[in-house]
Structure 1
Amino acid sequence: MSTPADLDADDLRFAEPNNPYLTAPDTDFTPIERLDADDAEREVALLRAAIREHDHRYYAANDPLIADRTYDALFERLTALEAAFDLDASDSPTRRVGGGTLDELGTVEHAAPMLSIDQSGEADDVREFDARVRREVGDVAYSCEPKFDGLSVEVVYEDGRYVQAATRGDGYEGDDVTEQVRTIRSVPERLGGDPPETLAVRGEVFIPRDAFQDHNRERVEAGKEPFANPRNAAAGTLRQLDLDAVAERPLDCFFYDVLGWDDGEPRDEDGLAPSHPATHLAELEALRSFGLHVNDRAESAADIEAAIDYRDRLGEDREDLNYEIDGVVIKVNDRAACERLGTKARSVRWAFAYKFPARHEVTTVEDVVVQVGRTGRLTPVALLDPVDVGGVTVSRATLHNPDEIESLGVNVGDVVRVKRAGDVIPQVAEVVESHSDTAYAFPDECPACGSAVERDGPLAFCPNGLACPAQAERAVVHYASRGGLDIEGLGEESVEQLREAGLVETLPDLYRLGERREELVELEGWGETSADNLLREVGASREPDLDEFLAALGIHEVGGATARNLARHFGTFAAVRDATEAELVEVDDIGETVAHTVRDFFETEQNARVIDDLLDYVDPQPDETDTGDALDGLTFVFTGSLSTSRSVAQDLVEAHGANATSSVSGNTDYLVIGDSPGTSKRDDAAANDVPEVDEDEFADLLAEYGIDWPPSDED
């Protein structure tokens, strides 16, 4: 722990050396009621400066000055003072803790194009890049740095204050993630040092490997689907609209490039501002001096061979890094030379990414767990002694199904080779060293409810349906999703919270929440408004359209299109529920397998009890599609993009008596071709002598029957 005498003013970015909250701060604070407004403002200013410095020291410099518990005391004091004296500020450290939900992600135009980089894993391609550079600008030196595998963002500062952040998007504009990036503690709200008036920097948002492992373990233990890799986790987090969820994730950010540097002075002949550093490595030092988190593995290389050597050396150290990389980036160091080299349509001419090869690693299977999916499918997962695979710490890998376990001959304690398919998805490739005589014995009972497991070919299922706790929770999530009844406010985390509180066990419990409103209000993060909003949304779902209700039940193989066909064919839920397999097969696009699945779902005793209970609260509305007979007897298949969505076209022809199916057969009368059509349907049409018509011909055909295309709003 540092003492005040140890502090070097040159090392401080955000606070003065005499700030009392930097080292060994006294956390026995004066009671707030004894402070006046001036005293509070002075203390708040000191606390904000100190906390910014502590954030920088902890997250960017890896050199903390105080213990975590002391930091927490300072943060809590600042929060209390801001609330007591109404001293909120947009750049206060307290703004990082999240809070609130955004309606949507806006779009932001970048200060300068965020272009991609040409890349290869071959040294000859790197040397060819060097030859092209030297032909254009002569001999150059290079800067070399890790190629981070995260999510690229642009962050903009004006007069040293954080004002905006955006994802890369198409390179010219991206999603506005200003509030999400604000929660990342390694991204300062204010810059230190002497930054230009406007600074736009490019960074990579990532999740450290150790934090990713811990977070994924928590998700698995909570019954949630783990993230595939740190990059996906970071990208998904940054696009979250729930800022509390973003703040809870362990995001970090490295800054590595300058997109815009404006000091208010005229630019030189290369387009650079007078104070703009002359080299890329000097840029990185400038960013570091401003308090931005800059990686410490950047180096200079006198020529391309030195750059190639850097890549090989970094590859040897890759396992020891706490962040994921998939190669190195080699850049022309001289900024003026970079400006002269310029750019191509989608990439820069002054940088090249030298990729690492995909890697396979060997580790031990510590355990095998069986997860239960929404449809009852049981999926075995190998829990591994953590191993680095392709720069990612992998602690679990799918074993797919019982037959895959038998094929691999894998069991707990075996040494296995793990690969990342496509350098992303962890899989067990083979058993390297077996420590058992037999493969892992797949359980005969569902781990969630104890029901006897049923097999369907290579797959295993729990037959307990909606009465199985694991299936029930996932069923509630699906029921409320956009693919179901679209009940706003009932996402995966909310459902999990309601289940843990004992408020929702099965689908009918959703409609009994009104009887337990006070318990709902008391849940963390809820309150009167949130509870009433949810109850209103649930109430609005009591009379769903029949097709939406069928899709919401989560019957295996019954998505939106199949649900619409069932609704139109049978008209009422009772008719669908009572239909025999023979009657179900008569429905368009339903074969024997799907018919058996539907019949089995409704005949399962546990499902039947839940549905009977659900129907006490929900009244699925009969399908009242106008089945005019103008197109009676005709069958259409659509492929490609139409001027109006294909679902509208399908609804229209079906409303006039035709069939709209998803595959071409000898019974198809017309294949309607839109833009960018698939080849398989056209091949099937040719094989079955089915005539093809484009959208104009389709419109003419409908006109012969007195039907307008595209349909008017009144239709």
Structure 2
Amino acid sequence: MSDAEPEVGETRYADPEENPYVVNPPTDFEPVEELSEADAEEQVELLRAAVREHDYRYYVEADPIIADAKYDQLFERLQELEDAFDLQTADSPTQRVGGEPVEHLETVEHTAPMLSIDATTDPEDVRDFDDRVRRELRDAGFDADEIGYACEPKFDGLSIEVIYEDGNYVRAATRGDGQEGDDVTEQVRTIRALPQQLRGDVPEYLAVRGEVYMPLDAFSEYNEEIQERGEEPFANPRNAAAGTLRQLDPDVVAERPLNVFFFDVLEWEAGEDGPERPETHWEDFETFEDLGLRHNDRVEHVDDVDGAIDYRDRMQRVRDDLNYEIDGTVIKVNDHDACAELGSTSRSYRWAYAYKFPPRTETTTVEDVVVQVGRTGRLTPVAMLDPVEVSGVTVSRATLHNPQEIEQLGVDVGDEVRVYRAGDVIPYIPEVVEKHSEGSFDFPDECPVCGSEVRRDGPMAFCTGGLGCEAQLERAVEHWARRDALDVEGLGPETVEQLREAGLVQSLPDLYRLEKDELAELEGWGETSAENLIAELEASKHPPLDEFLAALGIPEVGPATARNLATHFGDLDSLLDADVDEFETVEDIGTTVAEEIHDFLSHERNRETIEELRELGVDPQSVEAETGEELEGLTFVFTGALSVPRSEAQELVERHGANATSSVSSNTDYLVVGEDPGTSKREDARSNDVPQIEEAEFAEILADHGIEWPPEE
């Protein structure tokens, strides 16, 4: 981004003339310890307003005015000040990042019924709807010639109710049965496009209806990420949005790319000095913009039913250009008084109608089934089809997802199947229309790439070849070089692909056979870049044991588990000789993970790769546990905000011999309770008779053992 001031236009949450963090914000902040509490509070208020402004610019208007790196610095400074001076508030932008997990979703009653909408794909049904509306309104004394419609896309996401009191976000719930839904307040709070504070002139009480969805580009990227982790991808964006919003852990929701559109007012109470509700749906959209609620920019006002039908036809033509899924349009009588006169049935509004697109399905024949091996070793069956046109696109292949899907469908070569395609989502087969084969496709027991045994994990199947499977090579090398593994600079995805295509790296040990001259001959390389990579690889030959284990890409073994393994076994040979029972004795490792680790390390190809790496000079160093014994035998769990980050408290007690776990059990000695604690851990503590102590009592326990609190930097 250039140093010149960008065109800012109208600001919503922060005035750039009064707030220095809006345009070209300074990031050379003074040290926290040099700030007075009053100075910190002032800076926090400015940062909150600026971050809200930047969130709105980025997530709602898609028109950012600062670079991502600058935003990250502002956000981190805000977090730092809130933690240091205990200034957290529920509506702070920092509270979007997640929260305490819940055991289950509570059921809450909606402010007003969230009814459904009658739908059709036949334009004559839409004209009948228009005839009824005009007839009933004419009989009620309305001027039927003045009845217009507000038209909007019909989103294919998850409908929610969101409530604001005095402009502050207080609750969100799924539609459920229309009368009651699941309380997803903390999950929805993490959506960046949702304002935690409304702006401008706000009503005393506002309940709005919106649609949570996952943008198509973000959906594709997210599906790739979870497939690389060996997890089952979502079938479509709607399933991804619905599955995400019902996650019990808000931290998980915060990591997923959800967005939201608002399209209706469910309840509006102005209060003594608040604004009155707009008179039309069209004015609702304008008011949403004033309040900071994101609405769709494809909404239109039309004068009659012909305009509404034309709107739907135009939306169908641009459907595949949108970055979100729609399955039709919604036609609403514009005037609210007219809507009130028309009323509703027990299940649907009588003033709205959905004009849907034709279904995007066709039937064709399965000509073959091929099994692809992904970078994680996950095997994905793909149906090769007799080419068929679906919504203007020729489809010749469709995913069958996994072996379980094949068994449930009962599909095999020669069967006539229905193919479903939605936007940019990979076509898939929802059903067999006519069976021409016997049984279902016989899924292979061996990897089609390396011949290793195929292991079933729930509905999915994986190649057990690990480091010796060529299909998994690029991922294995990329994982080896990651920052939280061996941190080999210059060995990113593009470089790994180039090295593989050049025939220089066909296995992980080949990295340590690379020579400067052959690297320098590659396109885009020179002697300097070749020397740098060789030096980086040489420097990675003596990693701590935990980093070596994390780099291997063992299933379920991230940096934390790798540290526990290294600390428990001490050296690589002891770890390689361990059986499943021994792995189960390691902290936070259960039976399933113990079996995963043992299977990986005992697999012939993986063991050969590890020995080959050692022969080439890779010598993992044991991790010496530098811990005291002052708190040996004690187990702590922490909840809520402490005077220092909880991670530091956990590290401190572990450094002095105690255990710090994430959940309360009968083995827990103390639950340390900070500010704004979660409820689930406290309930677990009560049910297990675990003492709950505040930070001051925690400090006394540490002092009794000669340990200073808070810890020194």
Q: TM-score, normalised by structure 2?
A: 0.59
Q: 1:263 aligns with which of 250, 265, 270?
A: 270
Alpha-carbon distance in 1 for matches of 2:389, 2:636: 44
Alpha-carbon distance in 2 for matches of 1:234, 1:189: 20
- Name the count of aligned residue pairs: 478
Q: CA deviation at 1:405?
A: 6.6
1:20 matched to which residue of 2? Answer: 20
What letter corresponds to residue 369 of structure 1 in structure 2? Q
Alpha-carbon distance in 2 for matches of 1:316, 1:277: 32
Query: Are 2:385 and 1:254 aligned?
Result: no
1:182 matched to which residue of 2? Answer: 189
Q: CA deviation at 1:167?
A: 0.7
What letter corresponds to residue 512 of structure 1 in structure 2? T
Aligned residues with identical type, % of pairs: 55
Alpha-carbon distance in 2 for matches of 1:506, 1:296: 60
Alpha-carbon distance in 1 for matches of 2:69, 2:11: 22
2:288 matched to which residue of 1? Answer: 287
Alpha-carbon distance in 2 for matches of 1:226, 1:107: 28
Alpha-carbon distance in 2 for matches of 1:533, 1:126: 58
What letter corresponds to residue 218 of structure 1 in structure 2? E
For residues 448-527 of structure 1, what are the structure 2 equivalents within 5 Å?
Answer: 450-451=451-452, 496-497=556-557, 501=561, 508=581, 511-514=584-587
1:352 matched to which residue of 2? Answer: 353
Q: 1:49 to 1:532 in 2, by over 3 A?
A: closer
For residues 142-291 of structure 1, what are the structure 2 equivalents within 5 Å?
Answer: 142-264=149-271, 275-291=276-292
Alpha-carbon distance in 2 for matches of 1:176, 1:15: 31
Q: Would the aligned equivalents of 1:513 and 1:535 in 2 still touch at CA under 8 Å?
A: no
Alpha-carbon distance in 1 for matches of 2:580, 2:177: 41
What letter corresponds to residue 218 of structure 2 in structure 1? A
What letter corresponds to residue 56 of structure 1 in structure 2? Y
Q: 1:322 to 1:257 in 2, by over 3 A?
A: same
Q: Would the aligned equivalents of 2:160 and 2:174 in 1 still touch at CA under 8 Å?
A: yes
2:58 matched to which residue of 1? Answer: 58
Alpha-carbon distance in 2 for matches of 1:304, 1:515: 63
SS in 2 for 1:53: helix
SS in 1 for 2:350: strand
1:135 matched to which residue of 2? Answer: 135
2:105 matched to which residue of 1? Answer: 105
Alpha-carbon distance in 1 for matches of 2:123, 2:662: 60
Q: CA deviation at 1:99?
A: 3.0
For residues 387-406 of structure 1, what are the structure 2 equivalents within 5 Å?
Answer: 397-398=399-400, 406=413
SS in 1 for 2:103: coil
Query: Are 2:661 and 1:530 aligned?
Result: yes
Deviations 1:628-678 (A, max 9, x none): xxxxxxxxxxxxxxxxxxxxxxxxxxxxxxxxxxxxxxxxxxxxxxxxxxx
Q: Would the aligned equivalents of 1:280 and 1:335 in 2 still touch at CA under 8 Å?
A: yes
What letter corresponds to residue 99 of structure 2 in structure 1? G
- Ranges in structure 2 where 5+ consecutive residues have no aligned partner: 139-143, 432-440, 470-553, 566-577, 591-624, 627-634, 638-645, 652-658, 669-713
Q: 1:185 to 1:453 in 2, by over 3 A?
A: closer
SS in 2 for 1:311: helix
2:303 matched to which residue of 1? Answer: 302
SS in 1 for 2:586: helix
2:91 matched to which residue of 1? Answer: 91
Alpha-carbon distance in 1 for matches of 2:131, 2:663: 67
Q: 1:128 to 1:515 in 2, by over 3 A?
A: closer
Q: CA deviation at 1:496?
A: 2.8
2:314 matched to which residue of 1? Answer: 313
Query: Are 2:138 and 1:122 aligned?
Result: no
Q: 1:454 to 1:511 in 2, by over 3 A?
A: closer
SS in 1 for 2:310: helix
What letter corresponds to residue 530 of structure 1 in structure 2? T
Q: CA deviation at 1:243?
A: 1.2
Q: 1:369 to 1:5 in 2, by over 3 A?
A: closer
Q: Would the aligned equivalents of 1:454 and 1:463 in 2 still touch at CA under 8 Å?
A: yes
Q: 1:335 to 1:453 in 2, by over 3 A?
A: closer
Deviations 1:454-494 (A, max 9, x none): 99xxx9999999xx99xxxxxxxxxxxxxxxxxxxxxxxx9
Q: 1:407 to 1:516 in 2, by over 3 A?
A: closer
Q: Would the aligned equivalents of 1:451 and 1:464 in 2 still touch at CA under 8 Å?
A: yes
For residues 320-469 of structure 1, what are the structure 2 equivalents within 5 Å?
Answer: 320-360=321-361, 368-370=371-373, 380-381=381-382, 397-398=399-400, 406-407=413-414, 418-420=419-421, 426-427=427-428, 445-446=446-447, 450-451=451-452
SS in 2 for 1:43: helix
Q: 1:219 to 1:290 in 2, by over 3 A?
A: same
Alpha-carbon distance in 2 for matches of 1:187, 1:130: 34
Alpha-carbon distance in 2 for matches of 1:96, 1:462: 36
SS in 2 for 1:157: strand
SS in 1 for 2:332: strand
Q: Would the aligned equivalents of 1:23 and 1:65 in 2 still touch at CA under 8 Å?
A: yes
Alpha-carbon distance in 1 for matches of 2:460, 2:198: 56
Q: CA deviation at 1:212?
A: 0.3
Alpha-carbon distance in 2 for matches of 1:427, 1:94: 39
2:76 matched to which residue of 1? Answer: 76
Deviations 1:525-563 (A, max 9, x none): 9974426758969xxxxxxxxxxxxxxxxxxxxxxxxxx
SS in 1 for 2:330: strand
Q: CA deviation at 1:136?
A: 1.0
SS in 2 for 1:349: coil
Q: CA deviation at 1:229?
A: 0.9
Q: Would the aligned equivalents of 2:150 and 2:281 in 1 still touch at CA under 8 Å?
A: yes
CA RMSD of aligned residues (A): 4.8
Q: 1:52 to 1:382 in 2, by over 3 A?
A: farther
Q: Would the aligned equivalents of 2:228 and 2:375 in 1 still touch at CA under 8 Å?
A: no
SS in 1 for 2:153: strand
Q: Would the aligned equivalents of 2:369 and 2:382 in 1 still touch at CA under 8 Å?
A: no
Q: 1:462 to 1:397 in 2, by over 3 A?
A: closer
Deviations 1:87-115 (A, max 9, x none): 11110000000132123211222111111
After the TM superposition, which of the residue ranges 395-404 and 334-343 deviates more from structure 2?
395-404
For residues 44-55 of structure 1, what are the structure 2 equivalents within 5 Å?
Answer: 44-55=44-55
Q: Would the aligned equivalents of 2:330 and 2:353 in 1 still touch at CA under 8 Å?
A: yes
What letter corresponds to residue 586 of structure 2 in structure 1? L
Q: 1:94 to 1:461 in 2, by over 3 A?
A: closer
Alpha-carbon distance in 2 for matches of 1:70, 1:321: 29
Q: 1:260 to 1:46 in 2, by over 3 A?
A: same
Alpha-carbon distance in 2 for matches of 1:359, 1:136: 35
SS in 2 for 1:256: strand
What letter corresponds to residue 344 of structure 2 in structure 1? T
What letter corresponds to residue 221 of structure 1 in structure 2? E
For residues 23-34 of structure 1, what are the structure 2 equivalents within 5 Å?
Answer: 23-34=23-34
Alpha-carbon distance in 1 for matches of 2:275, 2:461: 68
Q: Would the aligned equivalents of 1:21 and 1:50 in 2 still touch at CA under 8 Å?
A: yes
SS in 1 for 2:585: helix
Alpha-carbon distance in 2 for matches of 1:495, 1:355: 44
Q: CA deviation at 1:211?
A: 0.2
Q: 1:163 to 1:148 in 2, by over 3 A?
A: same
Q: Would the aligned equivalents of 1:159 and 1:195 in 2 still touch at CA under 8 Å?
A: yes
